[in-house]
Chain A
Amino acid sequence: MADREIYYSKAVNEALDEELARDETVILMGEDIGCYGGAFGVTKGLWEKYGARRIWETPISEGSFTGIAVGAAMMGLKPVVEIMFMDFIALALDQLLNSASKLHYMYGGQVTVPMVLRTPGGAKGGYGPSHSQMLSNLLIGIPGLKVVAPSTAAQAKGILKAAIREPNPVVVIENKRLYPQKGMVPEGDVVLPLEKAVVASAGEDMTLVSYSSMTPVCLAVKNALLKAGINLEVVDLVSLQPIDTDTVFASVRKTGRVILVEEACTTGGVMAEVSALISEHCLDALEAPILRVGAKDVPIPSSLALEKIVLPQAEDIVTAVKQLRAY
């Protein structure tokens, strides 16, 4: 099937549209997802096409509509919940932590909870402390929950389709900065594997591991450094829980040097886990210490000038590359 260049947000929209059309048990739930089309326009046109029976526009009650999705999923529907900003997941966390992720195990396999929770994380420039966070770190320590963070339009579509067809609860972390970015996306029903990392760009000298909004930044750094004769390999995790260690370890074993890049706070982040896994399994292959580039451990300030200081920038990655080269 032909590829076309479409926005990341449109790719999400296509996945939702196609899954709604394919499977009568798929329903959407969230705030302002009807005629408004969602805060970032991701659900545009779906309410007009599928109506209120499939598109449940909710009051501002994240804690309860997430729980309502759990109940509906236990009864055989496949709810896809939108949390408008990832920061608001705090309000929904009880249902994810104490119900959705546990019910299949704790009820001895009697039920499944085939729900998806999609939410845009990350900063977009000036949204401030409660509308900018990448909270992947809150979710990866919850057994029973799968967490993915697509970085391209093609992934956004193919991974979401896989998540909707998964019998277990999945959180899909989208990204406000990625929504208006275009990418080549195949037409039609292309489903990508949910738990696979991808080598976004092959190289020999050093590995950058990243996900979500930081993958395009890593790719830009790679292109910039090629002129300086440094060929970086960029591994895009895609899945944050579980982590595809085969792909990560193969790259680390190939290059011997690794920088872990994420938009979340550095302390206790996804990359802290990746770092631990690499040191447990690949220490013999490492020629230099594992470095991390992430957000500073402070809230994300509203001021654009201050935000830039707190969030990881391309220059920070370049600095880390130079540091590792000099080691």
Chain B
Amino acid sequence: MAFPNSSLSTDDLLNMFRRMVVIRTFEETLGNLFSKGVLGGTSHFCIGEEASAVGVIFAAKPTDWLISNHRGHGHLLARGLQVPRVMGELMGKLTGYCGGRGGSQHMSAIDLHFLGTNGITGGGIPIATGAALALKYKQSNDIAIAFFGDGASNQGTFHESLNIASLWKLPVLFVLENNLYGMSTPVAHSCASTELFRRAEAYGMKGSRHEAFNVEEVYTVAQEAIARVRGGGGPELLELMTYRQCGHSKNDPRVYRTREEEAKMMEKDSLLLATRSLLARGLSQEQIDQAAADARAEVAKATEEALAAPAGGRDDALSGLFA
């Protein structure tokens, strides 16, 4: 069934489905690469949260500026960064977007108006607010969009930035991806009031909460919110209810929740829902399977390319501290 207010064509939706499969496959591939010891450090996967990234970012203009957090691969890939270069960055290769200096939590692509992922929880929220200040100052028609989680909503920067953004009527959309857990801590154990979108009211801005499993639904609510922000209505807070199907990071045994809960949430898997929508719009299962296979092949090819790319040397490590 198509979402009632959706302005998406079937081609658009298929394209979004395909991008969600790229994200899902990318994260699964990373999991394999970690277990093979190819990747160092850690990574925070967004398996289960693809509809939030793709829905919002497809609703934005390509010139709107994005800021993401530690769980940013979905946002990066939704914006259309080249998969081999995102993978290369994670592998620490020179072909990566930041030459391997940033890695998963510190990746930007300025030419695509992606200001960066940020490894400090809540650290990107004021930066997005500052980007919005600059956009307003330059009388640009673009807006800034900040992605962060329920955990970040307990940082001072969240409250301070929402207050300032509202006070100064800055063109910024705050996207709070509520996946119910800050690492292992359930929202009810960290937030005195669990309806996080209501925090917007304290700062004189519109806040709203939406399920974020159906990508069409996310697209529609994001499109409306983005139009209001772009129209000069000031900032908004979108609380998108999602679910991280995987652990917090690569080594998480998920002792803080039950397998039953996970199974129940899997019924709302965004790929499953998008597949149903595409079938309802008349696409065949074979067409959908083909799109998914194409997406998986793209990630596989990107992974090979990134594996083959060179890592940097002494000069790459020690140069470029100052502009």
Q: Which residues of A contact B (CB under 8 A)?
A: 27, 53, 56, 58-59, 61, 63-77, 79, 94-95, 98-99, 102-112, 114, 143-144, 146, 167-168
B160 within 8 A of A: yes
Q: A63-B157, A64-B160 are in contact. Are A73 and B116 (CB under 8 A)?
A: no
Q: A58-B164, A66-B126, A75-B130 are in contact. Are A103 and B137 (CB under 8 A)?
A: no
Q: Are B160 and A61 in contact, CB atoms less than 8 angstroms apart? A: yes
Name the residue on B nearest A65 (C-beta).
B164
How far in angstroms is the closest Cβ of chain B from A190?
A: 24
Complex contacts, A67 vs chain B, CB 8 Å: 123, 125-127, 129-130, 157, 161
Q: Report Cα–Cα, A70/B133, bound state, in Å.
A: 11
Q: Are A72 and B134 in contact, CB atoms less than 8 angstroms apart? A: yes
Q: Are B116 and A103 in contact, CB atoms less than 8 angstroms apart? A: yes
B308 within 8 A of A: no
Q: Report Cα–Cα, A168/B118, bound state, in Å.
A: 19
Q: Are A71 and B131 in contact, CB atoms less than 8 angstroms apart? A: yes
Q: How many residues of B contact A (CB 8 A)?
A: 45
Say what secondary structure dominates the interface of chain B.
mixed
Complex contacts, B135 vs chain A, CB 8 Å: 75
Q: Report Cα–Cα, A217/B164, bound state, in Å.
A: 42
- Which of B125, B128, B134 has the most C-beta atoms of chain A within 10 angstroms of its own C-beta? B134
Q: Are A61 and B127 in contact, CB atoms less than 8 angstroms apart? A: no
Q: Are A104 and B116 in contact, CB atoms less than 8 angstroms apart? A: no
Q: Are B126 and A65 in contact, CB atoms less than 8 angstroms apart? A: yes
Q: Are B126 and A70 in contact, CB atoms less than 8 angstroms apart? A: yes
B17 within 8 A of A: no
B91 within 8 A of A: no
How far in angstroms is the closest Cβ of chain B from A195?
A: 11
Contact with A99, one of B65, B102, B118, B164 (Cβ below 8 angstroms):
B118
| Chain B 281-323 interface mask (CB, 8 Å, partner A; 1/0) | 0000000000000000000000000000000000000001111
B119 within 8 A of A: yes
| Chain B 93-105 interface mask (CB, 8 Å, partner A; 1/0) | 0001111011000
Complex contacts, B154 vs chain A, CB 8 Å: none
Q: Are A106 and B322 in contact, CB atoms less than 8 angstroms apart? A: no
Q: A63-B156, A67-B123, A111-B110 are in contact. Are A74 and B131 (CB under 8 A)?
A: yes
Q: Are A105 and B101 in contact, CB atoms less than 8 angstroms apart? A: yes
Q: Report Cα–Cα, A112/B110, bound state, in Å.
A: 11
B108 within 8 A of A: yes
Name the residue on A nearest B158 (C-beta).
A64
B106 within 8 A of A: yes
Q: Report Cα–Cα, A37/B130, bound state, in Å.
A: 23
Contact with B102, one of A58, A64, A108 (Cβ below 8 angstroms):
A108
> What are 15 A-to-B residue pairs whose CB atoms are below 8 Å?
A53-B137, A61-B160, A61-B161, A61-B163, A63-B126, A64-B126, A64-B129, A67-B129, A67-B157, A70-B127, A74-B131, A75-B131, A94-B123, A99-B118, A99-B127
- Which of B65, B123, B126 has the most C-beta atoms of chain A within 10 angstroms of its own C-beta? B126
Q: Are B126 and A75 in contact, CB atoms less than 8 angstroms apart? A: no
Q: Report Cα–Cα, A66/B130, bound state, in Å.
A: 9
How far in angstroms is the closest Cβ of chain B from A139?
A: 15
Q: Are A71 and B126 in contact, CB atoms less than 8 angstroms apart? A: yes
B167 within 8 A of A: yes
Complex contacts, B126 vs chain A, CB 8 Å: 63-68, 70-71, 95
Q: Are A95 and B123 in contact, CB atoms less than 8 angstroms apart? A: yes
Q: Report Cα–Cα, A106/B130, bound state, in Å.
A: 19
Contact with A106, one of B65, B106, B110, B167 (Cβ below 8 angstroms):
B106
Q: Are B102 and A59 in contact, CB atoms less than 8 angstroms apart? A: no
Q: Report Cα–Cα, A146/B322, bound state, in Å.
A: 10
Q: Are B134 and A59 in contact, CB atoms less than 8 angstroms apart? A: no
B191 within 8 A of A: no
Name the residue on A nearest B130 (C-beta).
A71
Complex contacts, B128 vs chain A, CB 8 Å: 71
B56 within 8 A of A: no
Complex contacts, A53 vs chain B, CB 8 Å: 137
Q: Report Cα–Cα, A111/B98, bound state, in Å.
A: 11
Q: Report Cα–Cα, A114/B118, bound state, in Å.
A: 19
- Supplied contacts A61-B160, A74-B130, 16 more A-B pairs, CB within 8 Å: A53-B137, A64-B157, A65-B126, A67-B157, A70-B127, A71-B128, A72-B130, A74-B127, A74-B134, A75-B134, A103-B116, A108-B99, A109-B320, A110-B110, A146-B322, A167-B322
How far in angstroms is the closest Cβ of chain A from B137?
A: 6
Q: Report Cα–Cα, A109/B94, bound state, in Å.
A: 13
Q: Report Cα–Cα, A72/B134, bound state, in Å.
A: 5
Q: Are A107 and B134 in contact, CB atoms less than 8 angstroms apart? A: no
Q: Are B102 and A106 in contact, CB atoms less than 8 angstroms apart? A: yes
B115 within 8 A of A: yes
Q: Are B130 and A143 in contact, CB atoms less than 8 angstroms apart? A: no
Q: Are A107 and B164 in contact, CB atoms less than 8 angstroms apart? A: no
Name the residue on A nearest B67 (C-beta).
A71
Complex contacts, A143 vs chain B, CB 8 Å: 321
B120 within 8 A of A: yes
Complex contacts, A106 vs chain B, CB 8 Å: 98, 101-102, 106
Q: Are A168 and B322 in contact, CB atoms less than 8 angstroms apart? A: yes
Q: Report Cα–Cα, A312/B135, bound state, in Å.
A: 47
Contact with A77, one of B97, B137, B323 (Cβ below 8 angstroms):
B137
For chain B residues 123-180, which have a beta carbon within 8 Å of chain A?
123, 125-135, 137-138, 144, 156-157, 160-161, 163-164, 167-168
Q: Report Cα–Cα, A99/B161, bound state, in Å.
A: 16
Complex contacts, A108 vs chain B, CB 8 Å: 96-99, 101-102, 320
Q: Are B98 and A167 in contact, CB atoms less than 8 angstroms apart? A: no
How far in angstroms is the closest Cβ of chain B from A147?
A: 13
Contact with A69, one of B119, B120, B130 (Cβ below 8 angstroms):
B130
Q: Are B101 and A70 in contact, CB atoms less than 8 angstroms apart? A: no
Contact with B323, one of A27, A75, A99, A104 (Cβ below 8 angstroms):
A104
Complex contacts, A65 vs chain B, CB 8 Å: 126, 160, 164
